[in-house]
Amino acid sequence: MKVAILIDTVKRDLGLATEIKHKLEHEQLGEVQILPIFPIDGDGKFTYGKFIFGSFDFVITPSYNVARTKSIRLRALLSGAKLIEFTSEQFYSQEFEKEKLNLDYKSQYSKHIYQNFVWSDYYANKIISAGISNKEKTWIVGSPKVFKKQSENRKEGIAFVSDFSLADFNTNQLESFNNLYKCNLTLSDINAIAEERKNFIDFSIRLSKTCGKRVYIRPHPGESKLPYELAVASGVIASWPEDESFTDFIKTKEHSIVHTSTTLFETCALGIPVHSIKFGEIPKSLQRDYYKDLISFSSESEITKKICSFDDAYTKDSQRKLHYYFDNFSGAYTCSDAIISALIEIKNKTKKNNLWMRKTFGLLSIILVYPHIFFIDSAKLAVTHFLKFELIRSIISIKFSDNLRRFFDPSHKLTKESIDRSANEFDKSDNFKKIQFTHSQIGKKPSSNLTSL
């Protein structure tokens, strides 16, 4: 079995991908390649060579959108692979459901995605109810967010965890964002988020001067550092996402203060008390289903009191409710084991077609459906690079179209080399401890309460 795992960011996704690779290959069950979800090389071009000249049984992607991320399906077709979506973010506002769930392209999505891996019944219910999947195509494998439970590290300090990246948008960025994600955020929403961020940062400064503990603050990946410089200048300690993973940051803290961030799930899983606060009305773009179960907004004085006189009743209650959102929260199995087991079962049930027949079908499909990729863009590059003796490379590389560029900061672009380098570092660190894979947890189907859907 050959598997390609596409990852979005090295720090966030590498742990699970590396663990799956080690276990699958250690048990001689198959081979895994870890590749960037946006296939960018150092020259800023699409590189399809890995898929044209390679082959996979499955390509696992952390996201797929029929209209916006065609390249993901193209690469799966080129390699003769079945496409599996294991969505990296399964909690979001209703503002984004149309885009996240491909509601305008239900039929196409169902045809493109062979199987869905989900964290729990919660998200299985959502995608089955939306009509983009069914019970036979849906596998509950738990969440990688809780694969490290109950850290034994010595804990000190208070962590402020931000989720205010939208606050940085100007008018043009907001318009682009709305067009890209098919939502309707307003400047009033952006201003409200910016005001919440200011109050959040100001509170971290006040607490650092009164609580007698170290106070840390961590921006959301891609968020501007500028608003946080005032906190740093006032004695708050910054943790920048590019310097350490969130798990490495949070596992040593005594308390966590969040606004709306889904990082509260990882924090609760590590047994760290979570406190949340709001200073005004929450824009729709930040409202999520789990509020009713896990968010208990408190005033500054209440949070300060809880920190000074430790009471973990709220944390224990939150952990109990987490089982609905993370099927593997009890620690009965790991996400990586469940994914491997599900892949084995899916592979055994998948009709064995000749590889070259699959690749030929994929190539013909692309030529018929997306002729510009192989004719227009490749021709332009061939002419451009002919005098540089790079004709062969230009044939298998496609210029990275502007409408498919990452919405986030260009510095977040990944290359295969950067992933390999980080994977090697990850192997040598304490982040990865080799656990022999046991074929004990088959990725399971949604529970019986979904049978009526």
What does the alpha-carbon distance between residue 34 and residue 32 come to, in Å, rounded to a whole number? 7
Query: Quick one: three-class SS letters along 40-70?
Result: ECCCCEEECHHHHCCCCCEEEECCCCCCCCH
Contact assessment for residue 210 and residue 305, using Cβ atoms and an 8 Å cutoff: no
Q: Residue 78: left if φ>0, alpha if ψ -120 to 50, beta else—which one?
A: alpha
Contact assessment for residue 377 and residue 404, using Cβ atoms and an 8 Å cutoff: no
* Cβ atoms < 10 Å from Cβ of 384: 13
337 pLDDT more than 60: yes
What is the SS3 assignment for 343?
Answer: helix
451 pLDDT more than 50: no
**pLDDT one-digit tens code per residue, 8-48:** 766 667 888 888 998 888 888 899 988 878 655 444 444 55
Contacts of 386 (CB under 8 A, 6+ apart): 394
DSSP conformational letter for 374: I
Question: pTM here?
Answer: 0.74
**pLDDT one-digit tens code per residue, 32-41:** 988 878 655 4
What does the alpha-carbon distance between residue 453 and residue 450 come to, in Å, rounded to a whole number? 6
The CATH 3.40.50.2000 portion of the chain extends over 2-143+332-450
Section 316-338 average pLDDT: 77
Write down the CATH number for the domain with range 2-143+332-450. Answer: 3.40.50.2000
Write down the CATH number for the domain with range 158-322. Answer: 3.40.50
Residue 386 confidence class, pLDDT cut points 50, 70, 90 = very low
DSSP conformational letter for 249: H
- State the pLDDT at residue 416: 64
User: How does the average pLDDT of the chain come out, rounded?
Assistant: 75
Residue 280 confidence class, pLDDT cut points 50, 70, 90 = confident
